[in-house]
Structure 1
């Protein structure tokens, strides 16, 4: 299997940004201004990025030699705002892999 880590890092970044935009921009606009347009616009890309993040996390967990606990932390981070940024710093940073 080719090295998925660079793709996973990009996916984690995009998933985190899309989640923040969805939670802190699109959802307040939907409920405060009764305009669901932004939630509809961001919802599908975020969903696809979320699924890609989960699948890639499972696939690279063996390459990274993560124990099950670490894999669960990485997966849990995808549903916590700013969680994927924490994962990037703690588990995916190049200096930590050397």
Structure 2
């Protein structure tokens, strides 16, 4: 779960930076924003793939339904969504892990 959480935060921060750099480049017409936008977009693209792998791995281990898996995977594409989804998923998984597991007696 730690790998997913780290990548969710990294992806979220990069996406917010990318959003601000796009605004600076196209709306505010700041000259140096073009290079920064290019670097952040490439970095976000590669790290989003790593995020997808870790999120899919976590979903497979947690046996999530397909809808929930897609919801978590797409959270890295909407600015700030990764933060909220990560928090919700972390709380859900922590609650699942805190539940006592029934002990099965061997016959």
TM range (shorter): 0.7 to 0.9
Q: 1:8 matched to which residue of 2?
A: 4
Q: CA deviation at 1:95?
A: 3.7
> Structure 1, residues 13-52: CA drift from partner, whole Å, max 9, x if none?
000000001002x112222224301102212211111111
Q: Secondary structure at the match of 1:81?
A: coil
- Under a length normalisation based on structure 2, what TM-score does the superposition of the two structures give? 0.77
Which 4+ runs in 1 deviate beyond 6 A?
Answer: none
Say yes or no: does 1:70 pair with 2:65. no
Once residues 18 and 84 of structure 1 are traced to their aligned partners in structure 2, the CA distance between those partners, rounded to angstroms, is: 11
| 33-42 vs 50-59, greater mean Cα deviation | 33-42
| 85-94 vs 8-17, greater mean Cα deviation | 85-94
Q: CA deviation at 1:96?
A: 3.3
Once residues 4 and 54 of structure 2 are traced to their aligned partners in structure 1, the CA distance between those partners, rounded to angstroms, is: 6
Say yes or no: does 1:17 pair with 2:16. no
**Which of residues 45, 48, 68 in structure 2 aligns to 1:50?**
48
Structure 2: gaps of 5 or more residues: 99-107
Q: 1:30 matched to which residue of 2?
A: 25
Structure label with greater radius of gyration: 2
